């Protein structure tokens, strides 16, 4: 008896993802491209010029899909973690999230009060307050807004709540600073030599700014907002391909 070979489940999942992503691309230009329509079926052009445009955009779409699919995979991984956070936030409620954030970063401020100067304590306490407010705003935006509000506002607010207090504490604590600041400097060099150089911003930043003191806070705020937008976009892309 001949044994029928079957494709691995992972291969089938990837194939289905690529097909769905290509169908979404094609539907930007042509009607009824996604899936099977029981009554009308998938739209096809009826003229030679229409077929030429259809095939041409289909070929461009294949390239777009090849470039976007790695982002889809990142979106799957990001969505897994964000959904766990969403479930935890839903269980805690807005007040619970704000209270938990206040306890976590308030503990950091209390440690700063015992070990740092008055200036350091005030700075860390202010950062803790901002982070707590940002956490509350992230939950509020995610609950009351649509997808656009969640991506544009909720994700950056959540990233700010995570990054801000440790970076501020690193400016006044040698223990925290020995971990955060060297890593921040290495990351800044990679960004300047990499993506920022591609868009021509590396020279301007090197000439006008020095990475010291409050500049570390500005750097991480500058990272938190785009990183939030990126995370929201890749999760949206993952939802589009595999709801």
DSSP per-residue codes, 87-126:
HHHHHHHHHHHHHHHHHHHHHHHHHHHHHS-HHHHHHHHH
Which residue segment(s) compose the domain that 61 sits in?
9-241
Is the pLDDT at 229 greater than 90? The verdict is: yes
What is the pLDDT at residue 39?
65
Instruction: For residue 233, tell me if it sits in a domain.
Output: yes
Instruction: For residue 222, tell me if it sits in a domain.
Output: yes
Task: Share the mean pLDDT of the chain.
Answer: 86
Average pLDDT over residues 75-92: 88
What is the pLDDT at residue 233?
93
Q: How far apart are CA 237 and CA 233, in angstroms?
A: 6
Instruction: Report phi then psi at 123, rounded to 5.
Output: -65, -45
Count the neighbouring beta carbons within 10 Å of the beta carbon of residue 36.
7
Is the pLDDT at 145 greater than 80? The verdict is: no
What is the pLDDT at residue 195?
85
What is the pLDDT at residue 235?
92
What is the pLDDT at residue 36?
59
Structural domains counted in the chain: 1
Q: How far apart are CA 196 and CA 143, in angstroms?
A: 34
Is the pLDDT at 172 greater than 60? The verdict is: yes
Q: How far apart are CA 15 and CA 9, in angstroms?
A: 10
Instruction: Report phi then psi at 171, rounded to 5.
Output: -75, -20
Instruction: For residue 28, tell me if it sits in a domain.
Output: yes
Instruction: For residue 101, tell me if it sits in a domain.
Output: yes
Instruction: For residue 3, tell me if it sits in a domain.
Output: no
Is the pLDDT at 74 greater than 90? The verdict is: yes
What is the pLDDT at residue 37?
57
What is the pLDDT at residue 1?
46
Angle of helix 174-193 versus helix 214-241 axis, rounded to 10: 60
Greater pLDDT, 77 or 175: 77
Answer whether 140's CB lies under 8 Å from 163's CB.
no
What is the pLDDT at residue 173?
85
User: Coil, strand or helix: which one is 146?
Assistant: coil
Instruction: For residue 1, tell me if it sits in a domain.
Output: no
Nearest to 176 by CA among 132, 224, 127, 129: 127
What is the pLDDT at residue 46?
83
Instruction: For residue 92, tell me if it sits in a domain.
Output: yes
- What are the helix (H) ranges across the chain? 9-27, 48-115, 118-144, 147-149, 155-170, 174-193, 195-198, 202-208, 214-241
Most confident option among 47-51, 144-148, 152-156, 198-202: 152-156
Average pLDDT over residues 118-133: 89
Instruction: For residue 2, tell me if it sits in a domain.
Output: no
Is the pLDDT at 3 greater than 70? The verdict is: no
């Amino acid at each position: 008896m001949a044994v029928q070979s079957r494709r691995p489940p992972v291969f089938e999942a990837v194939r289905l993802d690529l097909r769905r992503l290509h169908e979404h691309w094609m539907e930007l230009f042509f009607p009824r491209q996604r899936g099977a329509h029981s009554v009308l079926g998938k739209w096809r052009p009826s003229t030679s010029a229409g077929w030429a445009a259809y095939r041409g955009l289909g070929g461009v779409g294949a390239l777009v899909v090849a470039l976007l699919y790695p982002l889809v995979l990142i979106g799957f991984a990001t969505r897994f973690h964000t959904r766990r956070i969403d479930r935890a936030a839903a269980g805690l409620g807005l007040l619970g999230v704000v209270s938990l954030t206040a306890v976590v970063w308030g503990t950091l401020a209390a440690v700063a009060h015992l070990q740092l100067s008055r200036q350091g304590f005030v700075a860390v306490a202010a950062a803790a307050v901002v982070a707590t407010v940002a956490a509350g705003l992230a939950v509020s935006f995610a609950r009351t807004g649509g997808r656009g509000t969640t991506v544009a506002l909720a994700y950056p607010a959540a990233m700010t709540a995570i990054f801000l207090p440790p970076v501020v504490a690193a400016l006044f604590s040698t223990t925290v600073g020995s971990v955060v600041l060297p890593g921040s400097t290495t990351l800044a060099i990679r960004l300047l030599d990499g993506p920022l150089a591609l868009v021509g911003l590396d020279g301007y930043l090197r000439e006008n700014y020095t990475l010291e003191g409050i500049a570390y806070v500005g750097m991480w705020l500058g990272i938190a907002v785009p990183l939030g937008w990126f995370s929201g976009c890749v999760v949206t892309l993952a939802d589009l391909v595999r709801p």
